[in-house]
């Protein structure tokens, strides 16, 4: 007598929970990890990514790039999930996320865990950007310097 075979239909909820933009970012990150590029190649990849951004994002990204490099010349530029990011000793300190990446209404300048921004029990780790004023640029410069101490 043949035994009945139990069939179970499995669904992977996680596979359906990521947006197309998030999946694209993960694919970009996988490519970044596979590439063993020199510092100059990494810097060029960041500059190429910035150049490919829509105009409003590109202007912000170019200014952020200039501010970060001036505030902390020891940081190296690399792509991180397809976004310009700035590293110290192999750890991502800060990054720029263009508004178009996840179809947001603002760009983001953010800091990762390696950034030393601790201020009591709570502190901001990312900032929404629509434009940059001289006061904003000064604040970003101060934060980058603090983050890299």
Query: Is the CB of residue 83 less than 8 Å from the CB of residue 96?
Result: yes
Does residue 28 fall inside a structural domain? no
For residue 130, what are the domain limits?
Answer: 39-147
Does residue 8 fall inside a structural domain? no
Does residue 14 fall inside a structural domain? no
For residues 9-16, average pLDDT: 54
Does residue 3 fall inside a structural domain? no
Q: Looking at residue 39, what is its pLDDT?
A: 86
**Domain with 136 in it: what CATH number?**
3.90.1150.200
From residue 18, alpha-carbon distances to 14, 23, 24 in Å are 7, 6, 10
3-state secondary structure of 34: helix
Does residue 88 fall inside a structural domain? yes
The total of structural domains in the chain comes to 1
Predicted TM-score of the model (pTM): 0.78
Does residue 116 fall inside a structural domain? yes
For residues 50-68, average pLDDT: 99
């Amino acid at each position: 007598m043949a035994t009945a075979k139990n069939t179970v239909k499995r669904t992977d909820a996680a596979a359906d929970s990521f947006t197309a933009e998030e999946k694209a970012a993960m694919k970009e990150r996988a490519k970044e990890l596979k590439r063993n590029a020199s510092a100059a190649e990494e810097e060029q990849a960041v500059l190429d990514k910035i150049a490919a951004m829509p105009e409003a994002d590109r202007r912000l990204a170019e200014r952020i790039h200039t501010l970060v490099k001036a505030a902390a010349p020891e940081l190296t530029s690399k792509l991180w999930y397809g976004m310009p990011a700035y590293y110290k000793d192999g750890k991502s300190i800060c990054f720029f996320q263009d508004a178009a990446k996840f179809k947001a209404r603002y760009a983001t300048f953010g800091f990762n865990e390696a950034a030393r921004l601790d201020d009591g029990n709570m502190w901001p780790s990312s900032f929404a950007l629509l434009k940059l004023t001289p006061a904003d640029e000064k604040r970003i410069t101060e934060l980058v310097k603090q983050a890299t101490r």
